[in-house]
Amino acid sequence: MPLPTYEVIALRYATRGARRADNFLGGDPHDGEMPMDYFFWVVRNEERLVLVDTGFCEDMAVKRHRTLLRLPADGLKLLDIDPGDVRTIIVTHLHNDHIGAFDRFPVAAFHLQDDEMAFATGRYMRHARLRRSYEPDHVAGMVRLVFDDRVTFHKGDGAIAPGISVHQVAGHSPGMQCVRIHTRRGWIVLASDASHYYEHLEQRRVFPVVVDVGGVLESYDRLLALADSPDHVVPGHDPLVMRRYPPVAPELEGIAVRLDADPLRER
């Protein structure tokens, strides 16, 4: 049987202003605006629906001063997806902007790396610097879901379905995982926060939220090795993603784009 292909959609749900110096370890000699977008991702075909991360809701927007553009559930509605129908969610890591809406999916099972759960529940959470992107309610919620048989753990590489796999790319967080997906244009890789912006991967620079700089740099090679070309790697927070890929429908411009389509040459 041939390997299935999937439609892959980046859904933009929040944004915030930032400056270049905020986004690179060691700062940046060129000061200027460098806003950050927040996405989660939909992977689907006739047989399967998989979410990659969940986004966050109003609580995180208020607490952390982000602009919530639409609740994750409302974004999914634009794609005719009911959160109650989502059965599989890949959690790239447990930072609040990736897992903050976990409780809006009543029947979903969550796929997580061993190292991420160990880190988020372990001794390093004593340190403000290392815990700042995590929320105790999200982490505790995930622990509860383990007791409800709704968490599948992976260690390193893991298969989710034919044509969909996860791969640990530690550095930003210890259990950071990217997602490799078979599409009509070949194998694409959702880097999530293994590369926040295109510039991180392309210029081998590092986002300041990091537990292992060497791990981040090594992961860039892994992302590229897993993808069919550099154009097949999709960063986790870059506003350029909305410009490089075609919208799902004309009215979804700036909201939802098709990552399984060839990127536009606008750079």
- List binders of Zn ion among 170-199 (CB under 5 A): 193
* Closer CB to Zn ion, 163 or 169, in the complex: 169
Joined tokens for residue 65:
């001063």
CB of 192 to Zn ion, least distance (A): 7
What 152-161 contacts at long range (C-beta under 8 Å, 24+ apart), as own/partner pairs, is 152/109, 152/110, 152/111, 152/112, 153/112, 153/113, 153/114, 153/117, 154/111, 154/112, 154/113, 154/114, 155/113, 155/114, 155/115, 158/111, 160/50, 160/88, 160/90, 160/111, 161/48, 161/50, 161/88
Q: How far is the CB of 236 from Zn ion (least distance, A)?
A: 5
Which residues within the stretch 13-72 sit at the binding site for Zn ion (CB under 5 A)? none
Strand, helix or coil at 180?
strand
Task: Report the relative pairing of strands 49-52 and 88-90 from DSSP bridges.
Answer: parallel
Told to check if 116 binds Zn ion by CB under 5 A, we report no
Tell me which stretch binds Zn ion (CB under 5 A): 24-32, 90-98, 153-161, 226-234.
90-98
Q: Which two tokens stand for residue 93?
A: 């890591």
Stretch of 25-33, 71-79, 92-100, 161-169 contacting Zn ion, by CB under 5 A: 92-100
Comparison of 88 and 92: residue with beta carbon closer to Zn ion: 92
- Least distance in angstroms from the C-beta of 209 to Zn ion: 8
| The only residue of 7, 97, 199, 238 in contact with Zn ion, by rule CB under 5 A | 97
Q: Which stretch binds Zn ion (CB under 5 A): 61-69, 97-105, 206-214, 217-225?
A: 97-105
> Is the separation of the CB atoms in 51 and 9 below 8 Å?
no
List the one residue out of 226, 110, 116, 111 whose CA is nearest residue 158. Answer: 111
Residue 69 vs 261, nearer CB to Zn ion:
69
Q: Which is nearer to Zn ion, 182 or 205 (CB)?
A: 205
Residues that bind Zn ion (CB under 5 A): 97, 193
